[in-house]
A and B are shown apart, each in its own frame.
Chain A
Amino acid sequence: MTNNYYDPADLRKFGKITEWSEELGTKFFDYYNAVFQEGALSAREKSLIALAVAHVVKCPYCIDAYTKDGLQRGITKEEMMEAVHAGAAIESGATLVHGVQMMNKYNKLSM
């Protein structure tokens, strides 16, 4: 047990969550694995989506995992960074679009 909230070595232990709830853990990992199979989207495209989302939800384990996954798939660093920007653009857009709410409220309260 380290004194840090995040330990990179904990990622290896992810599978152990099943030990404390086998049914739900197994269902989750089955679902997870099914999601990342080739489908209407390629596994490569899904890997880039996962990398972007990993940044938006600020999950250090997911960032480690999907950077490595991207390398394994031959995804270039330029592609990875563009995916991160796509995530960042949505996240900052989500903040800024609330500016309309602020403007609405401002206008409503103002004479």
Chain B
Amino acid sequence: MATKSLKARHVELAETHKQLEILSNGIFKEGELPYFKDKIAEIGEFPLKPKKLEVLQINVGYMCNQVCEHCHVDAGPDRKEIMTKDTMELCLEVIRNTGAHTLDLTGGAPEMNPDFRWFVEEASKAGIQDFIVRSNLTIIRSNKKYHDLPEFFKKHNVHVVSSMPHYTRGKTDKQRGDGVFDKSIKALQDLNAIGYGMPNSPLKLDLVYNPSGAYLPGDQAALEHDFKQALKDDFDIEFHNLFAITNLPIARFLDYLIASENYEDYMYSLVDAYNPSAVENVMCTNTISVSWDGWLYDCDFNQMLGLKVASKVKHISDYNEALLNDRDIVISQHCYGCTAGAGSSCQGVVT
């Protein structure tokens, strides 16, 4: 398992233009598979337009304590892109005035941003209905200074969403690194101990499942059932919902697909599983993604591909929700990842 990001390894694929080239050439250019824009044009959804803004997703930095094989952010301990307090101030201004009902902080490991706690304290004052922090769980156990994170989250009524690729040790550690499973289990027990994830508890704890390989997630409800039963039986752990998220063919997952000679088959699987009814609810239609340096994107995936919003407003310093909502959403072939099967988003299935 790699311990450095593609960027730190100076891999060609760390360049976003290289990824976009791969996604537009080969089987798509040769006409074996249709371009995403042609596919959604069939149902009159091209150009794809936003609906009402519901989710403001802010990426506070790409630094992470883990180097997961499938990471679309190419995050890791060597990534230095971290949101500054100045940019956070700009975000807070937007958070106080947005019509979005959900604020979603992600990374990297968002907790590694030195101003993370200050930012959460300030943001929670804005009274947004649902305040999510995407925590990878192991961060809580990685260092003493993070051991009190569950209490901190509870104090600010944060909705915790955490990754858990499988309920068995082997599959989890293969994707996310040795020891990740045991640390994650301990962190979940810590969260449960103060009320997170317990039945009827207002302290929301959801898990995210990404397949550990070149295949799509199965039925979300069936997976949730299996996860709940196994985690309860084996570790007495409770959680609320499981979000099954499809791995999009970008960054480290794209690197893996190519290296393992699974790229073409995977793209075929995504296109075969294309579900027109998922198109109208893809998350880019209700989300704005903000990068560590304040640029605006249609989603976190477009952020990692360097595809800024196609709007006059491109930066948080010029934020204008009405203007932004009039944009065309930027798409490429990675978008098939969000329309496969029951659809996929940061909140799980979309149909």
Q: Which residues of A contact B (CB under 8 A)?
A: 8, 12, 42-44, 68, 71-74, 76
Contacts and interface: CB of A to CB of B under 8 A. Distances in A.
A74 B223 contact: yes
Interface string B94-114: 000000000000000000000
A44 B215 contact: no
A8 B219 CA distance: 25
Nearest to A78: B168
A71 B168 contact: no
A72 B168 contact: no
A76 to B, nearest CB: 6
Q: Is the interface of A mostly helix, strand, loop or mixed?
A: helix
Contact of A12 (B167, B213, B218, B268): B268
B219 A43 contact: yes
A108 B227 CA distance: 59
A72 B268 contact: no
Please indicate which of the listed interface residues B222, B223, B268 has the most CB atoms of chain A within 10 Å of its own CB.
Answer: B222
Interface of B: 166-168, 171, 211, 213, 215-219, 222-223, 226-227, 265, 268, 272
Contact of B218 (A8, A72, A76): A72
Nearest to B217: A72
Contacts of A42: 222
B66 to A, nearest CB: 21
A72 to B, nearest CB: 4
A71 B268 contact: no
Contacts of A43: 219, 222
A74 B268 contact: no
A50 to B, nearest CB: 14
A68 B269 CA distance: 11
Nearest to B209: A74
A44 B238 CA distance: 23
A72 B216 contact: yes
Contacts of A76: 168, 171
A40 B198 CA distance: 31
B218 to A, nearest CB: 4
Contacts of A73: 218-219, 222-223
> 5 nearest interchain CB pairs?
A72-B218, A73-B218, A71-B215, A68-B215, A72-B215
A71 B223 contact: no
Nearest to B171: A76
Given A12-B268, A76-B168, A71 B211 contact: yes
Given A12-B272, A68-B215, A71-B213, 10 more contacts: A12-B265, A42-B222, A43-B222, A72-B211, A72-B215, A72-B218, A73-B219, A73-B222, A74-B167, A74-B223
Contacts of B215: 68, 71-72
Contacts of A68: 215
Contacts of B272: 12
24 contacts: A8-B265, A12-B268, A12-B272, A42-B222, A43-B219, A43-B222, A68-B215, A71-B211, A71-B215, A72-B211, A72-B215, A72-B216, A72-B217, A73-B218, A73-B219, A73-B223, A74-B166, A74-B218, A74-B222, A74-B223, A74-B226, A74-B227, A76-B168, A76-B171
